[in-house]
Structure 1
Amino acid sequence: MNRNPHAASAEHLMNELGTLPEGGLNDRQAALALEKYGANVLEETETVPWWKILLRQFTTSMVYLLTAAAIISFVMKETLDGSAIVVVIIINGVIGFLTEYRAERALQALKAMTSPHCRVLRNGRPALIQSKDVVPGDILILEAGDVIPADGRLFKISNFMVNEAALTGESMPIEKITETLAYETLLPDRKNCVYAGTSVVKGTARALVFNTGMDSEIGRIGKMLQHVAAQSTPLEERLARFSQFLIWATLAIATIIVGIGIFQGRGFVSMLETGIALAVAAVPEGLPFVATMTLALGVHRMAKINALVRNLASVETLGSTTVICTDKTGTLTMNNMTVRTAELVHPLASSLFLRTAVLCNDAVLSKDEGIGDPMEVALLRYAGEDIVSLRKSFPRIKEEPFDSQAMRMVTWHENGVAVKGAPERILNDSSAIWSEEGAIPLTEESREEWYAKVRELASKGMRTIAMAWGSSLEDLVFLGVAGIDDPPREEVPEAVSLCHKAGIHVIMITGDHRVTAEAIAQEIGILKDTHKTSLTGADLERMSEDEIAAQAGQVAVVARVAPEHKLKIVKGLQKAGEVVAMTGDGVNDAVALKQADVGIAMGIQGTEVSKEASDIILQDDRFNTIVEAVKEGRRIFDNIRKAILFLLCCNMSEVLTVFISIIMKLPAILIPLQILWINLVTDVLPALALSLDSAEPGIMDRKPKSRDEGIITGTHKILILFYSVVITSGVFAAYYWSLWYHKGDFVRATEISFHTLVLAQLFFVVSVRKQSLFRYPSQLWQNLWLLCGIALSISLQISITYIPLFQEVLRIVPLQLEEWGIVFCAALLPTLIAQLRKFITEF
């Protein structure tokens, strides 16, 4: 394994590997090398059996709690309730299994990036072999269109360019060289090497293979992918903490109530049944189902905004994101090189400038689709002329292709010579400059002025190309300079501003050069006073994860990065307590995508490797889609929290009703079967309908929640207790009215209390929203599904009073009209109080 071939000469490496430059390896050498180094394939570590992954889904605190609730339900012969809990456990387990099992496919996609066959020099002549048989010491024969099968050191090239975007993130094809580079040169700048999985754009080359299989750069990424541990999402962590709290709270409630009842002389068996029923009632068994369905419905909504979700829990995690690490090319920018400005020596030079841009150009446009070098395509689009006609009018006689040493391209035509290239070279070769009087001598003073203009364009992150025209190479007239870059998407500055307003830190991570990255970052608002630090891969080499964590709040740009740098950034941010969303499209992004709390791959430009390692795929590659997805994630978390608040307020009101009746030595207001029925009729439909609530106003004006913040905070616990007391008060109001109206009929009073509690919980569901209905009455009609769920549940509650089976099991009879009136009034009382509280506290 050789990690620094860029710092060694090709001759030295050939001597090391026993390779002849004109003959390559012979069959015997190749066979020995294959035996020594192994096949050129990506290997997999021992994978976890599918059944172990499945079993892992049933080892959480919430699953233990629900399992206990299901067992108790079956023991009490509440088969329907117990079966519903079991179904919820199974559904959640299957979804978790599919999510985790899917993640193991990233390496398979990595394997698919290699070409099945390639050409090498064997026994002194070219040979077509299977890529898996390539060994260190082989000489690759490369030409345009080839997928490179292994890592190699270049020693012979002709106008050779390689697309390394998938590996390094560099947006433009890389022009390769053969010279030896410094030892400390980072991967994106190792221009004398080629790497497996990248592709040849143009030209021909020969390269000495120095690493294959798992020793190659793409293999090293595969190793890192296999060793990235699965990250628990903030929602999973919060639900785990919440489940543990519920377990102890439930046990405490059941023990206290049973103990008090026995102390008062009530029957041990009846109190045990009541305690068990309350324990089941205190557990919001519908919560996992509601949470799963809320996430699933969120996935459907996110698909409409071009965000394809592959990991259910990542929907909510995105809403908790505190840092978005985003790629530049294609996400923040158009991924389309464009002439942003053309600095002409004089307006009269415009036609000659455009003519040169078209004639000294090998690219073609087909229905506005560019074929060829992206910078040449940009020049053709800028010219906007009839390219075919212009080229017919000025046929090319001969040409001098662009060369990195010459730094120019020349084409000869019947009417003159067209030249384009590096401004320094073109200015040096030009003897005149265009003016109002025509061509005049180009002075040193003019040259210095144009050098300054070129530096100014370069400081803005633009690549510069100069144009000249003349009768010969000795008589060139300088025409001007084009500034070319990949412009930011029109909507990005507003989306970045919205992120900052929402307390989300945006970091641009790119393979491009620092100056280019800083220019774009400043233009779109990422680089500013509060986030002003830019780093490079070389900087990250010297920094520890702790040092990255310390600077996390200031970093805006990270340029020229290698795969391990991206992983290091994500780990450093996570060490600082950040919830990290990472975007990417290349092989080099896969490890960081898997490590991040939310990995976001590009659907258009993204490789299969990055997609398989991600949680979410952007089908339009746009940054503002991420921002919309963050908003959706926040809406989902808010709705899950609303559902939990609703469920706990309802369940706690049942516990308080029984507890107070025992303390006051009243006959049992609720029997065990009534408690189980209340949970069935009030928990599912209304709580599920809450998942369809639209986003609360100002949802993107607040900072992200801390990772340590639970689903239920201290403030929420106080509110749950308050609302539970209010609901319970409504129940006892109806209870004592019934005792007065029916002259001490406790049975009738208990029945009215039962109906009141059900309706009070159903009405209360509209009070878990942030705003008061007195201030925003229109929100009552924003979620028609919720209203339908309430109406259906109320209809069901009224209907059972007329069904003999329910009358017998739940000990109820039909109510009179005035009794229903009292039930409705008492049930509305808690909601009115809750709405008044919101109305007052909103001031």
Structure 2
Amino acid sequence: MTKFDFLSDTQKSWHHMDVDQVLTSLESSIEGLSYVNARQRLRHLGANKLPRSRPISKILLQPLLDPLTYLLLGSATYLQWNGAEGWALILVGVLHGSIGIGISLWSMKTKEKVSRDRPQRRQYETSNSVIVLRDHEEMELPLRDLVLGDVLILKAGDRPNVDLRLLEVSEDLLVNQTNLGGEAICPKQVLAFEENTPALERGNMIYAGTEISSGTAKGVVIATGRFTYEQISLIKERSFSAIHAELRQLRQVWLCLLGLVTVIAIAFAWQRGIIINAMTAAALIVSTYPQNLLRMATQVQLLGMRDLARQRIWARFPSVLDALARVTTIVPILESDVILSFGNLHQAGIEWRGLLRTSEEDAQAFGEVIGVETHSYFDAPQERIRQWQGDRPKSVDAVAVIGNDIEDIPLLRLADVGICDRTCRKELQDSSGLILPKEEFHYLPIAILEGRAIFDRLQRTALINASSAFTLAVLTLMDTAAGFSIPPLQLIWVGAIATPIVSFPLVLEPTHESLLFQPARRFQTMLRPSNYLRILLAVTATITAISLVFWLKYQGQAAMFSQARSMAFITLVFSQVFHACAIARQGVLRNLPLLLGISFITVCQVMFIQIPWFGEIMSTVPLNGVEWTIAVLSATAVFWVQELIKTS
């Protein structure tokens, strides 16, 4: 046990303790820490700053800390020992692990780029120093040198970046908590509050991110860095974006499907008196598990933030881009003498509604003139916004609120997207998710289009990966029921290599202008019936084409089994290629990454079929030109199905 282990418990109910208990717990005093003690605590706790990003060493070691890595290694070793192709599982694991590390490093670089390109505030930034009591004397220290137990002296205009338990206050002390979603409070005396008192109603606390509007205060530091109330609240609010949450749900569906297929396949095998191929089951799991999909989603969102920053539009969080894609209502807070100039977003399924700083009668009259539903800002505006948001557990409609005054902060925090411009005060910007270069509404379509483009890229990538996974699962089930055994390496090639190669270019496509003129409902959730129908039709078309090719060639003749399986393998691979071509927003000849991916898959497929050495590994035999043509043309079935969906 080290000297300062008692400082590791930062979740105490400091507001419920009296001053003597707080100081005793922190081993401090009302005169502050000694200089030596403070320096020792600083070395033990580290600087008072937020971690910018994960160290590269942690990213490189991440695969070694994942239990699934060792499960894969153990399974591969066991299968290899028993004569199966366990080496293929290890190679795929190393490949996807390397890709995951590469995406993480790419994300780090993109974050740095976003930070450099984001618009700089015109207002002053938070002071980098504060008055601290050390050795019974007042001294000015950098904020990064503050430690638990330090006693601070705050005056009007100070914005601490630590949480404080108040020790002494002046009669005119006023603390502005609007940045945290609260109101200004006036602590008059230092008392202990009930333990269940809401955080922003604790009059004996000052939190990081607040501002001393007037008066003076003395307080002891009880939380620094990422342990402050502000940072903990931020993590809870912005833990995952909506797209990440939906991808996690989709991954759970995949895992449930794999479990169901495995159980049914074992039942079929047991009924036939045979033992199911463990290598096939392992290959199916590796091929259908959505590797690196969440990391790719994060990277696509960061690229979108970077593109907006280049246009001097700052999205503060990735979840803001999700909300922008789902926006159905934009609510500017207007002055009575405002001059409006905004574009018509009706084709995008977005309505304008206004809150006017005047009476309800005048607001409605103003709305009739401009043709926009308008209500009084002073007549329960929060209830209005909740009404436009709909029933939260069921509704996916998003409301964006545009504010320009400090009193608009509660409405900005209530909205799905709070919007302001760079001329607004820092508190307003800190409570907003989207910051525009200036007070002009024509920047909004740019931001909404980028949000929709990100959603569209990830949705199409998820669709092709889900279709591939379901196809492989159903084929494995059909093969087991028919008494055949699909080669495991073919599953690995299609699901773990070929499909990611053709789906990756979809997330790199440029923004398509037509997305702004599509209905808003298409961008509100991935988990909607139309997407399930698309997956079902794609899987049905692919399996039908593969089955026809196989049975027309096989026709119950054992001598034709190898040729029939090779043709079915070609149809399966090129079905993924044609599926990607069908759902791509950009033509294949103009999409260089997709063109290179298709070329690589084609060359590999020819080698797997026509070269005997590869044929022995992949369980294929050479085919003639007619057989190749039939197999490839059959694979276009999924392409025509997708084209019919577009025109319907």
TM range (shorter): 0.5 to 0.7
In structure 2, how many angstroms separate the alpha carbons of the residues matched to 1:71 and 1:317?
A: 42
Aligned equivalents of 2:31, 2:124: Cα separation in 1: 21
Q: Name the structure 1 match of 2:326.
A: 320
Residue type at the aligned position of 1:733: L
Q: 1:681 to 1:239 in 2, by over 3 A?
A: closer
CA distances 1:197-251 after superposition (whole Å, capped 9, x unpaired)? 88xxxxxxxxxx5455899xxxxxx977865642443213322322222221221
Structure 1 residues 241-320: aligned runs within 5 Å: 241-268=249-276, 270=277, 272-320=278-326
Match of 2:375 among 525, 533, 538: 533
Residues 1:807 and 2:615 are matched in the alignment? yes
- Mind listing any 5+ residue stretches in structure 2 that lack a counterpart? 1-28, 33-46, 79-85, 116-121, 132-138, 142-151, 158-168, 180-209, 221-227
The question of whether the paired residues in 2 share the 8 Å contact of 1:549 and 1:573 is answered with: no
1:677 aligns with 2:496: no
Q: Does 1:712 align with 2:558?
A: no
2:628 maps to 820
Amino acid at match of 2:519: R
Letter in 2 for 1:244: Q
Residue 650 of structure 1, aligned match among 468, 475, 478: 468
Whole-angstrom distance in 2 between the partners of 1:224 and 1:289:
26
- Is 1:504 the counterpart of 2:320? The answer is no
How far 1:675 moved relative to its partner?
0.3
Q: Structure 1 vs Structure 2: percent identity of aligned residues?
A: 18
* Alignment CA distance shift 1:829-1:247 (3 Å): closer
Separation in 2, partners of 1:52, 1:781: 38
Q: Is the 8 A contact 2:571 2:635 kept in 1?
A: yes
1:580, 1:597 within 8 Å by CA — same for their partners in 2?
A: yes
**2:639 is the counterpart of 1:831:** yes
Q: 1:535 to 1:91 in 2, by over 3 A?
A: farther
Aligned amino acid, residue 534 of structure 1:
S
> Which residue pairs with 2:237 in the alignment?
230
Deviation of 1:677 (Å): 1.0
Contact 1:594 1:613 in 2 (8 A): yes
Q: What residue is the counterpart of 1:40 in the other structure?
A: none
Q: Which residue of 1 aligns with 2:445?
A: 627
User: Hey, what's the Cα distance between the residues in 1 that align with 2:307 and 2:110?
Assistant: 21
Aligned counterparts of 2:365 and 2:445: Cα–Cα separation in 1: 19
Q: How does 1:214-225 map to 2 (within 5 A)?
A: none
Q: Which amino acid aligns with 1:703?
A: A
2:279 touches 2:488 (CA, 8 Å); kept in 1? Answer: yes
Compute the displacement of 1:754 (Å): 1.3
2:135 is matched with none
Whether contact under 8 Å (2:287, 2:492) holds in the other structure is yes
Structure 1 residue 626: deviation in Å? 2.3
Match of 1:493 among 329, 333, 342: 342
Shift of 1:762: 0.8
- Segments of 5+ residues of structure 1 without an aligned counterpart are 1-33, 38-45, 104-108, 119-128, 139-149, 155-163, 168-194, 199-208, 216-221, 329-459, 463-485, 555-571, 771-777
Distance 1:530 1:623, change over 3 A: closer
Secondary structure of 1:532 counterpart = strand
SS in 1 for 2:377: strand
Code of the aligned partner of 1:798: V
Alignment partner, residue 82 of structure 1: 93
Does the 8 Å contact 1:92/1:292 carry over to 2? Answer: no
Where does residue 796 of structure 1 map in the other structure? 604
Q: Which TM-score applies when normalising by structure 2?
A: 0.63
Task: Answer whether contact 1:110 1:608 (CA < 8 A) is retained.
Answer: yes
SS in structure 1 of the partner of residue 237 of structure 2: coil
Give 1:762's aligned amino acid: V
Contact 2:450 2:511 in 1 (8 A): no
Any conservation in 1 of the 2:409–2:428 contact (CA below 8 Å)?
yes
1:702 partner letter = P
Query: Kindly tell me: are residues 304 and 135 of structure 1, through their superposed partners in 2, closer, same or farther at Cα, counting changes over 3 Å?
Result: closer
Distance 1:529 1:551, change over 3 A: farther
2:398 corresponds to which of 568, 572, 579: 579
8 Å contact kept, 2:153–2:219: no
How do residues 455-534 of structure 1 correspond to structure 2 at under 5 angstroms?
461-462=336-337, 487-488=339-340, 492-494=341-343, 497-498=344-345, 500-506=346-352, 513-514=357-358, 531-534=373-376
Q: 1:705 to 1:74 in 2, by over 3 A?
A: farther
Q: How does 1:601-620 map to 2 (within 5 A)?
A: 602=421, 604-606=422-424, 615-620=433-438
Question: Taking structure 1 as reference, are residues 214 and 98 closer, same or farther at Cα in structure 2, changes over 3 Å only?
Answer: farther
CA–CA distance in structure 2, aligned partners of residues 89 and 526 of structure 1: 55
CA spacing shift, 1:213–1:133, aligned 2, 3 Å:
closer
Within 2, Cα distance between the matches of 1:96 and 1:313?
Answer: 18
Mapped partners of 2:330, 2:339: distance in 1: 20
Change in CA separation of 1:586 and 1:288 when aligned onto 2, cut-off 3 Å: same
Aligned ranges 1:727-746 → 2 under 5 Å: 727-739=542-554, 744-746=559-561
Q: Is the helix fraction higher in 1 or 2?
A: 2
Counterpart in the other structure of 2:148: none
The counterpart of 1:688, out of the listed 504, 529, 532, is 504
Cα deviation, residue 74, structure 1:
7.5
- For 1:260, give the aligned amino acid: F
Paired position in structure 2 for 1:763: 578
Is the alpha carbon distance of 1:284 and 1:632 closer, same or farther for their aligned partners in structure 2, counting shifts above 3 Å?
A: same
Q: Is the 8 A contact 1:585 1:601 kept in 2?
A: yes
Q: After superposition, where does 1:44-83 map in structure 2 within 5 Å?
A: 76-77=86-87, 78-83=89-94
Letter in 1 for 2:594: L
CA contact (8 A) 1:286 1:683 kept: no
How many residue pairs are counted as aligned between the two chains?
Answer: 515
1:629/1:684 CA distance change after superposition, 3 Å: same
Q: Which structure 2 residues correspond to residues 556-575 of structure 1 after superposition, within 5 A?
A: none
In the alignment, the residues of structure 2 paired with residue 324 and residue 522 of structure 1 have an alpha-carbon distance, to the nearest angstrom, of: 19
The answer to whether the 8 Å contact 1:319/1:704 transfers is no
What secondary structure does 1:241 align onto?
Answer: helix
The match for 2:565 among 732, 736, 750 is 750
Structure 1 pair 782–581 and aligned structure 2 pair: CA distance change class (3 A): farther
| Distance in 2 separating the partners of 1:135 and 1:694 | 49
Q: Which residue of 2 aligns with 1:391?
A: none
Are 1:151 and 1:196, in contact at CA under 8 Å, matched by a contact in 2?
no
Aligned-partner residue type, residue 300 of structure 2: T
- Preserved contact between residue 314 and residue 434 of structure 2 (Cα < 8 Å): yes
- Please say if residues 502 and 702 of structure 1, whose CA atoms lie closer than 8 Å, have aligned partners that are also in contact: yes
C-alpha distance in structure 2 between counterparts of 1:583 and 1:750, whole Å: 60
* Alignment partner, residue 44 of structure 2: none
Q: Pick from 432, 457, 481 the counterpart of residue 663 of structure 1.
A: 481
- The residue aligned with 2:194 is none
2:144 is matched with which residue? none
Question: 1:321–1:504: 8 Å Cα contact kept in structure 2?
Answer: yes
Rate the CA distance shift 1:130–1:655 in 2: closer, same or farther, 3 A: closer
Larger radius of gyration: 1
Q: What are the residue-to-residue correspondences of 1:443-454 with 2, within 5 Å?
A: none
Task: Say if 2:550 and 2:564, in contact at 8 Å, map to a contact too.
Answer: yes
* Partner deviation per Cα, 1:452-493 (whole Å, 9 max, x = no partner): xxxxxxxx945xxxxxxxxxxxxxxxxxxxxxxx744xxx32
Deviations 1:392-431 (A, max 9, x none): xxxxxxxxxxxxxxxxxxxxxxxxxxxxxxxxxxxxxxxx
CA distance in 1 between partners of 2:387 and 2:71 (Å) = 47
- 2:457 aligned partner: 639
CA distance in 1 between counterparts of 2:73 and 2:244 reads: 22
The more displaced of 725-734 and 761-770 is 761-770
Amino acid at match of 2:489: L
State the secondary structure of the residue aligned to 2:620. coil
